[in-house]
Amino acid sequence: MQYMLLLNEPEAEFAKRNDPEQAPAYWGGWNAFIGAMAQAGIIVKGDGLQGPHTATTVKVRDGKRLVQDGPFADSKEQLGGYFVIEVPDLDTALDWAARAPSASYACVEVRPVLPPMAPPAG
Amino acid sequence: MDLARRTAERVARDSYGRLVAILSARTRDIASAEDALAEALLSALRTWPDRGVPANPDGWLLTAARNTMKNAARHDGVTRAALPDLLALRENASEDGPAFPDERLKLLFVCAHPAIDEGVRTPLMLQTILGLDAALIGAAFLVPPATMGQRLVRAKAKIRDAGLRFALPSLDEMSDRLAEVLDAVYAAYGAGWDAHDQPASSARGLTDEAIYLGRLIASLMPGQPEAAGLLALMLYCEARRDARRDASGAFVPLDRQDASLWRRDLIIEAEGLLTAASRFGQFGRYQCLAAIQSVHVQRPLTGRTHHDALLTLYRMLVERYPAIGARVGLAAVLVEAGRGREALRELDDLDQASVEDYQPYWVTRARALHAVCETGASRAALATAIDLTQDEPTRAFIRSLLNHSAPYAPG
């Protein structure tokens, strides 16, 4: 089965990305985690995302487009990246999620990916 | 006819969980397995009382379930995902072939999986392993049947769609995961026990169902002393059931119960389980709770309650599992041992917000205050305890304490 690991980060961790003192340890941790998944051959796809300060939301109401600065929810943790992995079951996906650096200071949401839709009949 | 029917029901119940476990193991689709089995069981209950229980009831039910699923597949024009499993099993098992492997443990671990909402783990076990319906389970947990039905459907959908693993936990996870399974079984026992205080409740049978699950786990996991500990604990409590009320229905506290009403067979079984469990030399919460019960049932033999043994056990329990119930229990033993001041200190130490609505806390507090001659405060605590008590016989018992100066103990 395929699972998406939604990797959330608090503001302080996003800040480490560009801090010359803290960036090496920050990226080192992520690279080790991603390297382990790559070694196990389970990565289907995945990316890190730029920080929440780059987020823009858009919605359409009554045909009118409303664009806003910022992420959709103003919460302490924001989506920092994702991976889709191919593993036999949820338990294995949770084992991998627990190894993400962010699991020890934020939380990782694990969701099964919808199986491909059947082609429309006719 | 009646005997045949009872046999049919007993065998059917045993087979139910066994077959749900086998049918859902690969597809993780508990709901589909249950649907097919429900049909098979109906025809079993129709035909077994007349024709007798077949030599291999599982094989019979599996064949019937397979036919049901074949028909369902024909109707839907879709092959159900579980069908290949049924066919494979069918080939390996003739009507008097060997028994199937017992997969119920795996199903129990799925039901009590940490990815399943804690509140639905016990209901899920009762339904998938024992085949109880949502209305009965709802009654036991004071939830409307429709709501309980929705929660069960949601949980089964999560198990199927999120792909929970149908396997025993690895060794390093075993103790935590087993604790979750045992907690869910104990919650069923607790719900049944509470229902005994409401004579009309249909949930009273849950104590029997919980003991059935306890026996099942203890027999399937002979190497896990906590499984035996939980079963022993439930049997000790069960043994005293008839002694908890007098002829008028009034509540009788443990130290005033007529020990001749205790069931010796259950006590002997519990003692045996606890002794065997202790040989593993692993401390565990349920073994400790069972050991506390074991001390209580020694009273008729020795003529007194061994407070030092109780204090030692409660201290061990509180040290590892500092739950409110255990800490209040420790305070209650201190009161009985004539150490009211220490009991009050224990009670004062508790987080006051978490005991506000906890009736045993207020009863114990009243007793501790009474022991140190703070009569006014003791009465106020008792009044709070009465306000927090739903059950009329127990309210009457607590009320009687207001005019009573003899020592008393909770049941």
Contacts of B149 (CB under 8 A, 6+ apart): B134, B138
CA distances from residue B83 to B25, B27, B94 in whole angstroms, order as listed: 12, 10, 17
HSE of B144, CA atoms in CB hemisphere, 13 A: 3
Packing angle, helices B392-401 and B375-387, rounded to 10 = 170
- Could you report the per-residue pLDDT of B359-396, keeping only the tens digit for each? 999 999 999 999 999 989 999 999 999 999 887 878 88
Q: Which residues of A touch B81 (CB under 8 A)?
A: none
Nearest to B278 by CA among B311, B316, B252, B305: B316
B115 and A112 in contact by Cβ < 8 A? Answer: no
ipTM attached to this prediction: 0.84
Give CA–CA dist B310/B292, Å, rounded.
Answer: 6
- CB of B181 closer than 8 Å to CB of B227: no
Confidence of residue B73 (pLDDT cuts 50, 70, 90): low
What six digits make up the tokens of B29?
């689709």
| Tokens, residue B79 | 């092959």
* Nearest Cα residue to B19 out of B8, B30, B9: B30
Burial (Cβ within 10 Å: 0-12, 13-18, ≥19) of residue A74: exposed
**Are the C-beta atoms of B243 and B257 separated by less than 8 Å?**
yes
Q: Is B303 left (phi over 0), alpha (psi -120 to 50) or beta?
A: left
Give the pLDDT confidence of A5-54 residue by residue, as tens digits.
999 999 999 999 999 999 999 999 999 999 999 999 999 999 999 999 99
> Would you call B165 an interface residue with chain A, using a CB distance cutoff of 8 Å?
yes
Question: How would you class B2 by CB atoms within 10 Å of its CB: exposed for 0-12, middle for 13-18, buried for 19 or more?
Answer: exposed
Mark residue A20 as left, alpha or beta (left: phi above 0; alpha: psi -120 to 50; beta: remaining). Answer: alpha
Residue A89 and residue B161: Cβ atoms within 8 Å? no
User: pTM to 2 decimals?
Assistant: 0.83
CA B346 to chain centroid, in Å, comes to 29
A98 and chain B in contact, CB less than 8 A: no
**What is the C-alpha to C-alpha distance for residues B385 and B383, in angstroms, rounded to an integer?**
5
Sheet of strand A43-48, all strands in order from the earlier edge strand to the far edge:
A43-48, A77-86, A2-10, A108-112
Higher-confidence residue of A99 and B246: namely A99
Residue B132: what are its φ and ψ, rounded to 5°?
-70, 150
CA distance B296 to B306: 8
Residue B305 carries which side chain, given as an amino acid letter?
T
In which element (H, E) is residue A85 found?
strand A77-86
The answer to whether A94 faces chain B, any CB pair under 8 Å, is yes
Interface membership of B176 toward A (CB under 8 Å): no
Flag if B165 and A1 touch (Cβ within 8 Å): no
Average pLDDT of the residues in A69-78: 86
Q: Which of residues 28-67 of B touch A (CB under 8 A)?
A: none
A28 CB within 8 Å of a chain B CB: no
d(CA A46, CA A57) in angstroms, rounded, equals: 22
CB-CB neighbors (< 8 A) of A93 in chain B: 163
- pLDDT of B385: 92
| Residue B157 touches partner A, C-beta closer than 8 Å | no
Neighboring chain B residues of A89 at a CB cutoff of 8 Å: 163-165
DSSP state for residue B82 in the 8-state scheme: T
Q: For B224-281, how does the pLDDT look when each residue is reduced to its tens digit (9 = 90+)? A: 999 999 999 999 999 998 898 888 778 888 888 999 999 999 999 999 999 999 999 9
Q: How far is A90 from chain B (nearest CA, A)?
A: 5
Whether B381 and B362 have beta carbons less than 8 Å apart is answered as yes
Structure tokens belonging to residue B362: 């207020």
Report residue B82's pLDDT band, with 50, 70 and 90 as the boundaries: very low
Q: Are strands A64-69 and A56-61 parallel, antiparallel or unpaired?
A: antiparallel
Residue A102 is given by DSSP the state G
Chain B residues with CB inside 8 Å of A3's CB?
163
| Whole-number pLDDT of residue B72 | 64
> Do A112 and B162 lie within an 8 Å CB cutoff?
yes
- Dist. CA B316–CA B322, nearest whole Å: 10
More confident: B7 or A58:
A58
Which is it for strands A77-86 and A64-69: parallel, antiparallel or unpaired? unpaired
Chain CA centroid to CA A111, Å: 11
- Write the pLDDT tens digit of every residue in B37-70: 888 888 888 888 888 888 888 888 888 887 776 6
C-alpha count within 13 angstroms, C-beta hemisphere, residue A113: 19
CATH, domain range A2-112: 3.30.70.1060
Q: Does A92 touch chain B (CB under 8 A)?
A: yes
A92·B165 Cβ contact <8 A: yes
Q: How confident is the model at residue B91 (pLDDT cuts 50, 70, 90)?
A: very low
Give the per-residue pLDDT at B92: 47
Per-domain residue ranges for chain A? 2-112
The pLDDT value given to residue B42: 83
Could you report the per-residue pLDDT of B358-367, keeping only the tens digit for each?
Answer: 999 999 999 9
| B164–A94 C-beta distance less than 8 A | no
Q: Is the pLDDT of residue B147 over 90?
A: yes
Contact criterion met (CB below 8 Å) for B333 and B407: no
Whole-number mean pLDDT of chain B?
Answer: 85
CB contact under 8 A, B164 and A91: yes
What is the distance in angstroms between the Cα of A36 and the nearest Cα belonging to chain B? 21
Spell out the alpha helix ranges (H) of B101-258.
104-111, 118-130, 134-140, 145-161, 171-195, 206-220, 225-239
Q: Which of A74, A69, A75 has the alpha carbon at shortest distance from A55?
A: A69
The CA R_g of chain A, rounded to the nearest whole Å, is 17
Q: Does B162 touch chain A (CB under 8 A)?
A: yes
Phi–psi pair at A77, nearest 5 degrees: -110, 140
- CB-count exposure of residue B264 (10 Å: 0-12, 13-18, 19+): exposed
CA distance A72 to A84: 22
User: Residue range B164-175: average pLDDT?
Assistant: 91
Residue showing tokens 């080939």 = B91
